[in-house]
Every structure is written in C-alpha cells, then in structure tokens.
Structure 1
Amino acid sequence: MDKPIAPAPPAPTAPLRPLPPGAVDAHVHLLAGADEFPLWEGRAEDPAPGRNLDDWLALYRAHLNALGCTRGLIVHSIFYGTDNAVTVEALRRLGPGFKGVGLLPDGASDAQLDQFARWNMVAVRLNYVHGGVLSWDGAKAMAPALAERGLHIQMLAHADRHMEDIAQDVRALPCPVVFDHMGWPADGLTPDSSGFQTLCALLAEGKAWVKLSAPYRMCNAPYDEVAACMSALIAANPERCLWGSDWPHIMLNGAQMPQAAAMVDALDALIPDAATRQSIFVDAPTRLFHL
C-alpha cells in the first residue's frame, strides 16, 4: 500500500522583528531523494517527491535566510530509520555552524560513540512517546560515555504524563537532557499539571533544557493556547531554553501546516527583554551544541 506523502513546506517569510546575529534554529530535519538514501520500511509517510538532498538543502538555506538564522541543529528523521547517513551527509555539506542529533541503540559501543562524535553529532535522540532503538534505561547506561564526549540526550516526552517518573534520573545524569517541543503536554495546554511543573523545576535547577518548538503540533496559529506553557518555561530558566522551527513539518497528523516566522513571532511576543531573547536564540544553543 502506498504511504501518504508529506506536504512540501511553505515558502519562507521573515519574522516581524529580525532575530539577533548568530541566531540558531535548534530543530529541523533534512530529507533527500529515495534513490540517494533508503527510506525506512516502518515510516508513516514519504517525503514530498521530486527533490534530492541538494534541493532540500537549498530550501533549508532559504528557510534560514528568511528567518535570519545562520546556524542550526539537524535532527535525524525517522523517515530513514536508524541509518544516520542522510543526516551525516547533510552536516558534511552544510559545514561549520551546523551540528546533528542522531540515533544510537541501547548498548552502543565506544567505537560507535566515537564515530558518532566524529560525524559532528552532539546528541542521541530518545523517543519516550513512540519508542525506538534507544530506551530510557539504555540512555541512562550510555550517559557517562556521552558526557565523556561532550554529547547529550535529546528526548521527546509528554511532560504531563512522564516527567515525574523520570525527574530524579534526569537530576542524576552526568550529561544534559533536552526536552523537545516544550515537553509536549498531552492532556491540556496549561502549565498546571504536576508533570509540567516538574519540568519547570528541572529547568530552574539547571538540570534540563527545553526547546520552545513546534507549537503547531498542539494548537493552531497564533498559538495563544500554548502561550502560558512557553511563558512558564522561559520564567523558569531562560538560559536553558532554545528555539527550533521543526522544519519542514513532516508527519503533521492533522495539524495545520505552520509558517516558521509566525512561530518566531508568537514566541517573541512572550520574551520579556533583550537579554532573554539573546539567550534563547543565540547563547543557549551556542553553549549546548558547541557551535
């Protein structure tokens, strides 16, 4: 059976206010032609057809230029399963100013970790929502080796369902943990749940980081429904907050196709001062990703 086709991203536009110099888009995926890099059989959809990796890189650069970003973090797409090759090649072609997040399985060897670091990866990804090749127990066991190499864990979890179960482990880990998509609240877009408040506490303690990314996966533009969550995370610790577009917005699952500039604008309206803005868009990702 043919798989659904991911829609192409919209033509990029500029945010209302230019981003500060050195701004980082801390969450995108890079795609390619199926004849260049094999797609994973278990994927939920196919990339928009007719484009090779160079074509996607040109679209990505146009996206960055419109936003005013000059650096970025490429998160390996599950379209390609556990083979990190497309992300590794994208990083090679992009050059300085770009780092990656890839997949490693439980029990990865020192040799695999060394190769991973040489690929310009800065984190392993753990999907606590849908599962995958890396488990939470596996990530905890891997954490000392990650820390030795300056690597960290990037995690997709539902804060309101999962955070209380893992918070003490997060506090004890020797490497940073970054939570994608504002902790992706699943049972209500308010900061009132004990799990979301636990995420805020981890930020305040300097024990976790969070990406203020992908509000479109929780509500439609202008993203007013998730504003309280974003504000709570910023108030907890702006030095542990990052911004990412989640471009090119694959696997929408019924969500409205976003415009990255509109997501910048929604966040920008909540940022209290210039120093916080500089931290979220420039300084925090620079430190965490060794850019």
Structure 2
Amino acid sequence: MHQVVTGRIDSHAHVFNLALPMVAGRRYTPAQSAPLENYLAHLHGLGCTHGVLIQPSFLGCDNSFMLQAIAQAGPRLRGVACVDPTITLPELQAMDRAGIVGIRLNVIDGTQPQLQSALWQNLLDKIKSLNWHVELHCRSNKLDTMITTLLKHQIRVVVDHFGRPADGVPARDNGFQRLLQWGHSGMVWCKLSAVYRISAAAADGHKFFAAAIPLLLENFGSHRLMWGSDWPHTQYEQQINPEYLATQLNMLLQDKQLAPALLWDTPAKLFRFIQNFV
C-alpha cells in the first residue's frame, strides 16, 4: 500500500552567510548570518518538518549557497531561485534536479523586468517547460500588470507576503482587493507570511493577519494559500521572535480542517514535496 507522507511546511525562509559576496546597489545588508543549522532548529521549534528556501535579493543570481543547503538537508527542503534572463535551459534543468521549483522576481523597490521583451519571454518559455512557478515580491499596486503578463503565458504565480499592501486594513488597499480577484483565476497562490512588513506593531500585525485570511480563503480557497515564517526576518531581526510567529501559526492550527491544507497539502503539491501535481 502506498503510504502518504504528511508534515508541516514553512513555505518561505532564507539561508545565507555574511561572508558571501553581495550585489552592489542592494536595498540592505543583513545584520547577521542565517546558516542552515539555525534554520533547521527554527523548523523544529515551530513543529515544521519541511521548508522552502527563497534566494535573498542581496545575493543576486548566485544561488550556490541555497543549493548547497538543499543538498545538505535532502528531501526536507525545496528552493526558489533568482536568475538572469539569459540563463540556459540546461542550467535551469540542473537546478530543477537540485530541488529548485521556481524563480523569484523581487522588485519590491526596484524597476520591474520587461516581461514582454523577447529575452524574458524566452525565459518564461523555459520556466513553463519545467512546470515551475514565478514568485512575485512587489508592492500590491504593482501586482496586477505582472500577474496579467505571467498568466497570459500560462505560468503559475505565487505572491509573497499577502501581496505587500500599503494599508494595514485589507478592505482599504486597492492592490490587495485586486489580488483577491486574481484568486478566482486558479493560477495564483498567496503566502500568508511576513505580516510585520505591512505593520511592524505586533498587535496591528496580528489584527491584519486575522482580517485578511477570511478574505483570502473566500477568494483563493485553502488550496491556493500557504503559511511561511519569513525566517530570519531580515531588517526585523530584533522585533520578531518565536512567540510572534507562534501566535499567528496558532490562529491557523485552531481550524483542524484548514490547518492541514495551508501547512501541508497546498505547499506540498506546489513545491513538489509530493510528485503528483501537474
């Protein structure tokens, strides 16, 4: 009999070392290293069995440290890479074999890539051929254009951090409201993560978390939502502690039907911890 493996997945985290070469013009420099062993301890502390590593912006397109971490941790980890649009298909295929399942476009404070250009369209063809997704990290008012282009290419889209709305009240943020509409496309996923990047005050963050999730569930369904810790909370290292994360994680765990979907079923399929997702 086939045994179904289940667990709990942290769908958003980073590993890096301050000694690594960092890109010029980066938005920030992290305050401390985030080694693999610390992340695995973090997973254990939250009761998580698996994790998804996201290439941090300050390391640019050199994904080697993340790939090394995935190789060391084996089947417990998957990765989302940052790549130059000139990357070749054999290079992407090698990354696929190494546990990479998508690419990230981190344009939170930068210029959006010219996704309509021949160079980017060629890359998107390669991404589609690998059945990867594209992860977007940008302000909520910039999401619409990028999602439109990616869906025209029939590529699955993952939106970081509740879509990074500018307003801490979900109903008042136009970009977030538009994101809710995209939930009906069946091709867009959203991460319930890093709410402190919307509102750093703990009480306000918990309030947004509680207010946004019913709206997202109504429009996305539990099969398009997943939770992430955003460890090691770059730029917020001194403000976020395990208790902060546990408070929000417990909000999800209270619903015995919802929790397995958000913490295992959805991310396990999307990030290929189980292999039956097309």
TM-score, normalised on structure 1?
0.80
State the Cα distance separating 1:187 from its structure 2 match. 4.0
Does residue 174 of structure 1 match 2:154? yes
Structure 1 position 285 matched with structure 2 position 264: no
Residue 32 (str. 1) matches residue 17 (str. 2):
yes
Counterpart pick for 1:221 among 202, 221, 244: 202
User: How far has the Cα of 1:263 moved from its partner?
Assistant: 2.8
1:245 has 2:229 as partner: yes
Match of 1:96 among 57, 72, 75: 75
Any conservation in 1 of the 2:31–2:234 contact (CA below 8 Å)?
no
- With over 3 angstroms needed to count, the CA separation of the structure-2 counterparts of 1:272 and 1:152, relative to structure 1, is same
Aligned partner (choices 134, 137, 142) of residue 153 of structure 1: 134
User: Alignment partner of 2:234: what SS?
Assistant: coil
2:48 maps to 1:69? yes
Question: Structure 1 30/218 Cα, relative in aligned 2: closer, same or farther at 3 Å?
Answer: same
- Of the structure 1 ranges 272-281 and 137-146, higher mean CA displacement relative to structure 2 is found in 137-146
Give me the whole-angstrom Cα distance separating, in 2, the residues matched to 1:167 and 1:154: 10
Alpha-carbon distance in 1 for matches of 2:53, 2:38: 14
Q: How far, CA to CA, are the matches of 2:186 and 2:58 in structure 1?
A: 33
Q: CA deviation at 1:231?
A: 2.6
1:70-121 CA distance string (max 9 Å, x none): 1010111223222111111111111112111111112332223223213311
Determine if contact 1:106/1:134 at 8 Å carries over to the other structure.
no
Q: Name the CA distance, whole Å, in 1 between partners of 2:10 and 2:43.
A: 8
Counterpart CA distance in 2 for 1:29 and 1:43 is 16
Rounded to whole Å, the distance in 1 between the matches of 2:60 and 2:112 is 9
Aligned to 2:181: 201
Whole-angstrom distance in 2 between the partners of 1:239 and 1:75: 21
User: 2: CA distance between counterparts of 1:131 and 1:139?
Assistant: 17
2:189 and 2:89 map into 1 onto residues whose CA distance is 26
| Shift of residue 155, structure 1, vs aligned partner | 0.6
**Deviation of residue 60 (structure 1)?**
0.9
Give the 3 Å change call, closer, same or farther, for CA 278–270 of structure 1 in structure 2. closer
What is the identity, as a one-letter code, of the residue corresponding to 2:42?
A: H
Unaligned runs of 5+ in 2: 1-5, 274-278
CA distance in 2: counterparts of 1:140 and 1:221, whole angstroms: 41
State the match for 2:276 in structure 1: none
Q: How many Å separate the matches in 1 of 2:103 and 2:9? A: 19
Match of 2:216 among 223, 227, 233: 233
Pair 135,231 (structure 1): closer, same or farther in 2 beyond 3 Å: farther
Q: Is the 8 A contact 1:46 1:79 kept in 2?
A: yes
Q: Which residue of 2 aligns with 1:125?
A: 104
Contact 1:104-1:134 within 8 A present in 2 as well: no
Amino acid at match of 1:29: H
Call closer, same or farther: CA 1:33–1:107 in 2, change over 3 Å. Answer: closer
Of 132-141 and 214-223, deviating more is: 132-141
Name the structure 1 match of 2:39. 60
Q: Which runs of 5+ in 1 are unaligned?
A: 1-20
* Residue of structure 2 equivalent to 1:165: 145
Aligned residues: 263
Identity of aligned residues (%): 30
TM-score, length-scaled by structure 2 = 0.84
